[in-house]
Structure 1
């Protein structure tokens, strides 16, 4: 038992009936899904090169927009598999088609939008249209239908047509980019609005193990992109202690960041949605991975180009691409841990939260200090390693992980109704959900 905190976690509101959630059946990530995810290695590499080649404000904004679109294309496919399984014919054939559309989309990511805007719009329209087809086909294929997929597909059809309409606008023009922004925002909001309308019982919640595994695999891909950027940057310089030292620091930083992310109790918000109906916290958990993944990719650009840079102006920009993305990544981890603690009903001080907060502030401060590449990478690595050690050795981190494991095991069991109620009440103990957690979701 962690000192000062309950030893159990109750993810069930004692004042209401248990949500109508079936026990989790095993759902493994398939070879097709792994192949689909590998396309994003190419997409992230293209986006990184785009940002590194021209780190101006306009290009940074375009990078953010295109990255969000790419991440959301991945999320749509992943969420569909996590909600309705990866063995349906609609999902398998649709994923193969989406894989091709994403490969074409990746070809357009590095070019100037005045040259590639038309191709990007058409490729993304194809991806969205395929997503519509997958949603509606799964609704027809599954016995009893799939309400979430059906309503999402119907709304997404309008979004897909808007992407098609944007192809008629001048490539890379302000009206075209503005329409992309509005359309992408609407696309991001569709699952939230549909989930709120359907509620817990008809929402077909994502699988409690499959979705976190897919999300974790994408973070590994993003962190692998840092190593790729560092190796690429090192190629631009002669091998020496001057170049090897910052490269080694960057790799150590990446390992520490990996440890920080995977040391968290990553699935508690999703488990809370299954057992307690906390849909808002589940959605917040999912969407928080967008800024985290984006921060990791930009951090890789800063680390890699910092090693290869010979121009003082670019070197100063790369310093900002290390300081601020590292700070943003740590702040996202602060939110993810806070969200998990809220689901678990944890109160009181948390040294890991304080450590990550302090690390985020220290990382941001690196952007205001005149440092050379070796100093910057060394300080950033030392900072990240220090925070990761504090989090890894925190008893609260260990206890949250134990709670997560226990609740997952209970969800994977197949008890009868009476046993199911007992399992929920035995799972863990904390505060009951607030009205806003169940009603607003």
Structure 2
């Protein structure tokens, strides 16, 4: 009995204390995030090399997997004290696994399928088992939630492993099923027959922390775009036109940063912390709402690679989809986040998407012109929203 009592306070110390409920990401979390720079670079390089229909489906599965691994880890570190050595060791172990996962990404739908599936499932299940260890006997609500989550992840891992052993087309089907299972879990509170589901179960989340972590991930994606663009530009900086395209590509990245961070991002944490059902709002804003933003930035990096390496070429449909599709996805995600967090109807974003989609119906445009047009649309959206927000602020102040 004495032994049990001695263990529980030690485990309770692994949980985030009340004075740690702020939104500041800790150094171990930031260190963990660095792994995903490599993973995103691998994803964008893989897409740039093969941008066919099948490759797009494969890339979508991989982006969904990488994002889900990261966001699930972020939800757990939202509850844990990352200054404790054992929690840091968990993050370092997942970092190592994340690097191996990133190395396997280019061949995930070829010879490294089993390796990718094994590493991904090991990280997901291992992290959840650690959560069970921490919460057992300390926090019954969270223990029940993570117990049900573990069941869902073990179930999805069957599809991951089966897909890793299957041929290409069957692998796509099985891994798609695995993704569907994992993304559906939170929507039904990881329901498992026989395991209690409390209607009032709450994770005790810090909206400020989740908002900052997602913002940092967006910065990672934007930084990856800068790295990819700079690398490609250095290989093709042989004319004044290349410099113009590079300037537009760089400007697009900066404008995406501006559109995301200038107004709505600061309201995201307030929305979660002030909500009657914070977990439900957090899932909408972070788990699912940020996904189009992240995917859009990655696709933008691929489009910029095309426009820099073949500036004078007439755009093919796949190249047009990359250059235009990235900003469209990003703006669509920004619309969702801003409407959910600030009840802001971003007319500028809708107009920007309409103009970008309209470019798809202008065949024969050279790649450099598409890149310039894409940057111009993002500039229009940023200026339009800036003026609307400032005008609204002046009106509220005057009232």
Which bin holds the TM-score, normalised by the shorter protein?
A: 0.7 to 0.9
- Could you tell me whether the CA contact under 8 Å between 1:230 and 1:305 is conserved in 2? no
1:267-282 alignment runs, 5 A limit:
268-279=267-278, 280-282=280-282
TM-score for the superposition, normalised by structure 1 = 0.76
Equivalent pair of 1:226/1:304 in contact (CA under 8 Å)? no
Cα displacement (A) at 1:366 = 2.0
Moved more, 63-72 or 380-389: 380-389
Contact 2:268 / 2:342 at 8 angstroms: preserved in 1?
A: no
2:295 match: 294
Structure 1: how far apart are the matches of 2:20 and 2:270?
A: 11
Between the aligned partners of 2:159 and 2:356, the Cα distance in structure 1 is 42
Post-superposition CA distance 1:287-334 (Å, at most 9, x none): 111111011101110112221137957754222201122112112111
Root-mean-square deviation (CA, aligned residues, Å) is 2.9
Counterpart of 1:364 in structure 2 is: 357
State the partner residue of 2:389.
395
Q: How many residues end up aligned between the 2 structures?
A: 370
Partners of 2:252 and 2:152 lie apart in 1 by: 43
What does residue 31 of structure 1 align with? 27
Judged with a 3 Å threshold, the aligned counterparts in structure 2 of structure 1 residues 59 and 260 are, in CA distance, closer, same or farther, namely same
Shift in Å, 1:198:
4.4
Unaligned runs of 5+ in 2: 1-17, 192-196
**Which residue of the partner structure matches residue 37 of structure 2?**
41
Q: Is the 8 A contact 2:314 2:366 kept in 1?
A: no
Q: Would the alpha carbon gap of residues 168 and 185 (structure 1) be closer, same or farther in structure 2, given more than 3 Å must change? A: closer
1:317 maps onto 2:334 in alignment? no
**Corresponding residue of 1:106:** 102
2:223 is paired with a residue of what secondary structure?
helix
Secondary structure at 1:368 match in 2: coil
Tell me which of the two structures has the higher relative contact order, counting C-alpha pairs closer than 8 angstroms and 6 or more residues apart.
1
Query: In structure 2, what is the Cα distance between the partners aligned to 1:396 and 1:23?
Result: 35
C-alpha displacement at 1:108, in angstroms? 0.6
Q: For residues 241 and 201 of structure 2, what CA distance do their matches in structure 1 show?
A: 59
- Equivalence for 1:233: 232
Kept after mapping to 2: 8 A contact 1:76/1:131: no
User: Structure 1 residues 185-194 or 332-341, which shifts more?
Assistant: 185-194
Q: Distance in 2 between matches of 1:111 and 1:330?
A: 30
- The 1:397/1:300 distance shift into structure 2, 3 A limit, reads farther
User: Which deviations, in whole Å up to 9, do the C-alpha atoms of 1:220-271 show, x marking residues without a partner?
Assistant: 1111122222223223324220111111011111111100000132254543
CA contact (8 A) 1:132 1:157 kept: no
Change (3 A) 1:253 1:79: same
Would you say 1:132 and 2:128 are equivalent positions?
Answer: yes
Question: 2 CA distance for matches of 1:106 and 1:72?
Answer: 14
- Displacement after TM superposition at 1:205 (Å): 3.5
CA contact (8 A) 1:195 1:203 kept: no
Distance 1:43 1:384, change over 3 A: same
Aligned counterpart for 2:51 among listed residues 52, 55, 63: 55
Q: Confirm or deny that 1:148 pairs with 2:146.
A: no
- 2:203 equivalent in structure 1: 204
Q: Does 1:378 align with 2:379?
A: no
